[in-house]
Amino acid sequence: MTSTSSRCRRAEGSRLECVDGQEPGASPVVQRLSLQIPLRQPRVRQFGSRKEVFPFPEVGQEELNEINQFVAPVEKFFTEEVDSQKIDREGKIPHETLEKLKSLGLFGMQVPEEYGGLGLSNTMYARLGEIISLDASIAVTLAAHQAIGLKGIILAGSEAQKAKYLPKLASGEHIAAFCLTEPASGSDAASIQTRATLSEDKKHYVLNGSKVWITNGARANIFTVFAKTSIVDSDNSVKDKITAFIVERDFGGVTNGKPEDKLGIRGSDTCEVHFENTRVPVENVLGEVGGGFKVAMNILNSGRFSMGSAVAGMLKKLIEMTTEYACMRKQFNRSLSEFGLIQEKFALMAQKAYVMESMAYLTAGMLDQPGFPDCSIEAAMVKVFSSEGAWQCVSEALQVFGGSGYVKDCPLERILRDARILLIFEGTNEILRMYIALTGLQHAGRILTARINELKRGNVTTIMETVGQRLRDSLGRTVDLGLTGKLGAVHPTVADSANKLEENVYYFGRTVETLLLRFGKTIVEEQMVLKRVANILINLYGMTAVLSRASRSIRVGLRNHDHEVLLANMFCTEAYYQNLFSLSQLDKYAPENLDEQIKKVSQQILEKRAYICAHPLDRTS
């Protein structure tokens, strides 16, 4: 099919001139955003790596047609046949709905064509995600099946494993589940208790243990299970390491707990899965024995980017529903839509949808470039931004509905409950922020090592240079990193915003340098600092994506591109000031920096495990 060919096509235009000495594996955008600036690299390099995000990735006409062909029937099915209200109420997806999903091929969207899947590129997968997300339970079921459940086989499986399992999984005959979380182990891999021991004849592993919160746990036939195995190290010491296994339900000893009664996504099937003396043949080890940690990490990292487009799809639908209500409902002889405070909410929703859409498709486009670039930071940023945007927007939409949104008859209530999970699963947003910040800083740290060492040693020239630099900055300095201008990558209409981005990037680079100088590797413990670094990075990535997309829209003359320009400028301005605030918070002596107080307050509360203030009505006499 066309997906592979289109990937190659895109490659010609975009990536060829961009690689100039970048480390492979480093996330390109972060690298560009945060790190090159403090180093004051020659401009060439900035231009070079910029090519990945400017211009905004496009798909060819052929591929576009193909996508639209897919999308139409799926959209029809979701709007006409899926009754989300019923799924939520009854707590399960009806059998015929599942069958229809299978027949549409939605169970094998990213399975390569040779194994019977659709073999969609990441961009196309994201596009379909927009539609599928119209029902959260179905979206989660499908995501658990293919974004994590069978992803391990695609990423790390051997040819034989792929040939054996993927066809049935792609057709939906078998459903996959991803079994990592345990009662005592969330993101802490060391505390995994499930064990796999090699049998006497060395042909089987015997698997024992329990996994919790497994989506599709009761429905699945194929499980990707992570368990501890004893590995003899190179130095003859025995160590426990994690290994991934493909476990069929038919191997025996697989039982389920009762389904969890959840707040949202009630139609998805979540339960405990117990393995009791399950005999797994050695050929079902996924990847290497003892290499399960990497497998798990890769699967988790690869599954995230699609949340952006999914939420954007949901938000678009939400805007339709809410605008309708706002225009119909009258108060004081005016419709709600005439009130400024209501209008504001729509601007917010549109802006969020626009940004996360841009981020998601930019990331998908980068992922579709040849050479499997590692975009896990970008994917994590998309996930954090979109999940938080979703929660905020759904809440605002519900606010428009007022009391009528709070009752079960209104779908808003269900959407709100469903949206809450987005902040939690696939790595909670807190954890992903750590990931974003630390991975970025790790990279920055490597580049800045020499410079910081010189500063620490007290090299006079470097210090003078730095001081002089800061002095000049404080006197007011226009930052120009070459995004704008005659041959600039962004359109002049959004040049102001581009300048804001440049300024943010510049000062962020400086702040990162200071942070590394201050904390060094102990910055791992400074979670509040890291959170801000991550927030800034997310904003910067959002700004980049928005500018890139808006520039493209203007240049190719898409419909309503002036609206896009408005949204882009709005977001950039907001993000700019947010970033400035965060940057000043990162300054040690800034009055905005409340870290010490925050820590103290929480310490006192946690010590007593209660709110410790006296009641306002209390008296001492």
Cβ atoms within 10 Å, residue 27:
23
Specify the 3-state DSSP secondary structure of 248. strand
Residue 621 within binding range of another protein, rule CB under 8 A: yes
Residue 602 within binding range of another protein, rule CB under 8 A: no
- Quick one: which of 609, 611, 615, 616 contacts another protein (CB under 8 A)? 609
β-pair type (222-232, 204-215): unpaired
DSSP at 235? T
Closest-CA residue to 242 (of 199, 196, 202, 183) = 196
Asked whether the beta carbons of 367 and 122 are under 8 A apart, the reply is yes
Whether 58 is a known active-site residue: answer: no
Asked whether the beta carbons of 529 and 586 are under 8 A apart, the reply is yes
How far is Cα 411 from Cα 89, in angstroms, rounded to an integer?
Answer: 11
> Helices (DSSP H) in 484-591: which residue ranges?
495-519, 527-556, 561-586
The span of 111-119, 144-152, 485-493, 519-527 binding another protein (CB under 8 A) equals 519-527
- Quick one: which of 65, 199, 453, 602 contacts another protein (CB under 8 A)? 453
- Quick one: which of 96, 188, 201, 409 contacts another protein (CB under 8 A)? 188
* 617 sits in which H/E element: none
- Quick one: which of 69, 234, 522, 560 contacts another protein (CB under 8 A)? 522
Asked whether the beta carbons of 356 and 382 are under 8 A apart, the reply is yes
List the interface residues with another protein, window 346-385 (CB under 8 A).
Answer: none
β-pair type (254-256, 195-198): unpaired
Closest-CA residue to 230 (of 252, 253, 254, 206) = 206
Closest-CA residue to 401 (of 315, 311, 329) = 329
The span of 104-112, 345-353, 417-425, 434-442 binding another protein (CB under 8 A) equals 434-442
The span of 19-27, 120-128, 293-301, 401-409 binding another protein (CB under 8 A) equals 293-301
- Quick one: which of 613, 614, 616, 617 contacts another protein (CB under 8 A)? 614
Q: Identify which of residues 25 and 520 has a Cβ nearer to another protein in the complex.
A: 520
Q: Identify which of residues 152 and 405 has a Cβ nearer to another protein in the complex.
A: 152
* Distant-in-sequence, close-in-space partners of 364: CB < 8 Å, separation ≥ 6: 57, 121, 122, 123, 125, 126, 305, 306, 309
Number of residues that bind another protein (CB under 8 A): 42
β-pair type (270-281, 238-248): unpaired
Residue 441 CB, nearest distance to another protein (Å)? 7
Residue 445 within binding range of another protein, rule CB under 8 A: yes
Residue 195 within binding range of another protein, rule CB under 8 A: no
Options 426, 502, 513, 564, the catalytic residue: 426
The span of 34-42, 46-54, 180-188, 334-342 binding another protein (CB under 8 A) equals 180-188
Cis before 55 (ω within 30): yes
Asked whether the beta carbons of 413 and 407 are under 8 A apart, the reply is yes
* Binding string, residues 124-163; x marks residues near another protein by CB under 8 A: ----------------------------------------
Residue 613 within binding range of another protein, rule CB under 8 A: no
User: Could you give phi then psi for residue 614, rounded to 5 degrees?
Assistant: -70, 155
Specify the 3-state DSSP secondary structure of 412. helix
Q: Identify which of residues 192 and 314 has a Cβ nearer to another protein in the complex.
A: 192
Closest-CA residue to 561 (of 496, 488, 493, 500) = 493
- Quick one: which of 11, 206, 282, 431 contacts another protein (CB under 8 A)? 431
Q: Identify which of residues 43 and 446 has a Cβ nearer to another protein in the complex.
A: 446
* Distant-in-sequence, close-in-space partners of 325: CB < 8 Å, separation ≥ 6: 336, 400, 401
Specify the 3-state DSSP secondary structure of 403. helix
List the interface residues with another protein, window 205-244 (CB under 8 A).
Answer: 241-242
- Quick one: which of 5, 103, 187, 199 contacts another protein (CB under 8 A)? 187
Residue 195 CB, nearest distance to another protein (Å)? 16
Residue 66 CB, nearest distance to another protein (Å)? 35
Residue 69 CB, nearest distance to another protein (Å)? 37
Residue 510 within binding range of another protein, rule CB under 8 A: no
The span of 55-63, 346-354, 513-521, 571-579 binding another protein (CB under 8 A) equals 513-521
How far is Cα 194 from Cα 292, in angstroms, rounded to an integer?
Answer: 13
Specify the 3-state DSSP secondary structure of 23. coil
User: Could you give phi then psi for residue 198, rounded to 5 degrees?
Assistant: -70, 135
Residue 177 CB, nearest distance to another protein (Å)? 17
The span of 6-14, 210-218, 344-352, 433-441 binding another protein (CB under 8 A) equals 433-441
Rule CB under 8 A: which residues touch another protein? Answer: 180, 187-190, 241-242, 293, 296-297, 300, 427, 431-432, 434-435, 438-439, 441-442, 445-446, 449, 452-453, 456, 516-524, 588, 607-609, 614, 620-621
Q: Which residues are catalytic?
A: 426
